[in-house]
Amino acid sequence: MKTHYYETCIVPTGYFDIFCDYVLEMTGEAIEQKPITQKELQKSNQESTKSTTKTSAKSAREPAKDSTKNHTKTPTKNLSNPIWHCCNADFSEICANLAIAEAKGIESQMMIVRAESTPQSLLKELQDFTQTLSERVGEKVGFAYSVKKCENIDWIEAYKRGVSPIECARFYIRPSWCEPPKSSYVQTTKPPKSTKALKNTKSSTLIDIIIDPSLAFGSGHHASTFLCLEELHKVDLEWNLRNKVCLDLGCGSGILGIAMVKMGAKVDVCDIDEYAIEQTRKNFAQNRADYDKAYQSTLDKMLANPSFDAKYDLICANILADILLPLRDDFALALNRVKNRKNPKNCDKHIFTPLLILSGIIESKAPLIISHFCAKDSAFVLLDEKCKDEWVCLKFALQN
């Protein structure tokens, strides 16, 4: 891998798609498209000229006086703060075109080409291309460009350095390339046999969870996931999740289901997204954890299936408020009712109360969720409410 590469930014006066197709055909490189405004282009040029000599700054401010041929040579000076040059157009003309497009509500674009070789041949080809295109369309077509020499970076390693482990309650969530905590409790489906051993384990060690970032939601860093993990830890301390039957609804990456399994629960996972189910399977395998069943479905469809007979002790749903609202009665049906329980708020800690943990709720919508789930015709009572970074987590108990 070379130590440097060249980044060439190109802003045509028009016919952007034709320019993109031509550059792609010429270079074979991936092209990035980025919105650009008149102010952004002018600011970029002003900032680059500040760090040049007075002579180069003067030439940069007067691109119209330079010949087209002179401006298709790759700049060799000040590549860390590149000046904008023009071909078959002047800088003020290109800025004016951007302003006209903005006034019409049209978003202008610039293309960015990154290559290890200098863009001299590309710029020469573009010069000839604009002359040919101008003749064909019957109007002058040109472009502005800048060239920047950049240091090559191992982007994978840079990305990895940007993802750090996080500790939440008893959980230590980390990507696979980070080391586990010095004192970690790698629980699978076999928790300590005795209650005493379990309590000692909980007080002295962390539960290690490996989650590699992906498109599936849930790495522990988002406040809604963080709050769910804290609440699950609290439930485990109060009631003990060992052998409880739980559902991770809207599982995403599967992080909440993995956390429950590592506390000894039996867990089903459910998501409507096929990719989320796939990532959940991978993450469970990476954590040496086992779920009971995986559903690519919705809760109402699960309940409508005659073969579905599960009754859950705990359901954890980290989903948006608008999706949670209509699921209230389905949650009640899916939870395992406990006989002879009148007041869940004053329940015996030795007898588990069916619980519902909801998150993914923006703070402004929390009152709506609470009023709906605690209405007179509801089977739920609110036990706890936590807020972090404008996100809310609610814990409800199921009444008889």
Percentage of residues of the chain with pLDDT beyond 70:
79
Residue 360 region, left (φ>0) first, then alpha (ψ -120 to 50), else beta? left
pLDDT at 66: 41
Region 300-304: what's the mean pLDDT?
94
Q: Which of 98-112, 299-313, 330-344, 368-382 has the highest mean pLDDT?
A: 368-382
Class for the domain spanning 164-398: alpha beta
Cα(230)–Cα(235) distance, integer angstroms: 9
pLDDT at 72: 53
Percentage of residues of the chain with pLDDT beyond 90:
54
Average confidence score pLDDT of the chain = 83
Band (48; pLDDT cuts 50, 70, 90): low
Supply the pTM of this predicted model: 0.60
Nearest to 365 by CA among 390, 328, 398: 390
Q: Name which of 28-32, 201-205, 225-229, 361-365 the model is least confident about.
A: 201-205
For the segment 60-93, what is each residue's pLDDT rounded down to a tens digit? 444 444 433 444 544 444 445 578 899 988 898 8
CB 296 within 8 A of CB 277: yes
Per-residue pLDDT at 372 exceeds 90: yes
Region 206-221: what's the mean pLDDT?
80
Nearest to 123 by CA among 62, 82, 95: 82
Region 269-279: what's the mean pLDDT?
94
For the segment 135-181, what is each residue's pLDDT rounded down to a tens digit? 999 999 999 999 999 887 776 676 677 778 999 999 999 999 898 88
pLDDT at 195: 46
pLDDT at 50: 60
Per-residue pLDDT at 275 exceeds 50: yes
Residue 240 region, left (φ>0) first, then alpha (ψ -120 to 50), else beta? left
Question: Tell me, what DSSP letter sits at residue 74?
Answer: P
Region 329-339: what's the mean pLDDT?
83
Domain with CATH 3.40.50.150 in the chain: 164-398
Task: Return the number of other C-beta atoms located less than 10 Å from residue 380's C-beta.
Answer: 25
pLDDT at 332: 95
Cα(233)–Cα(169) distance, integer angstroms: 7
Per-residue pLDDT at 131 exceeds 60: yes
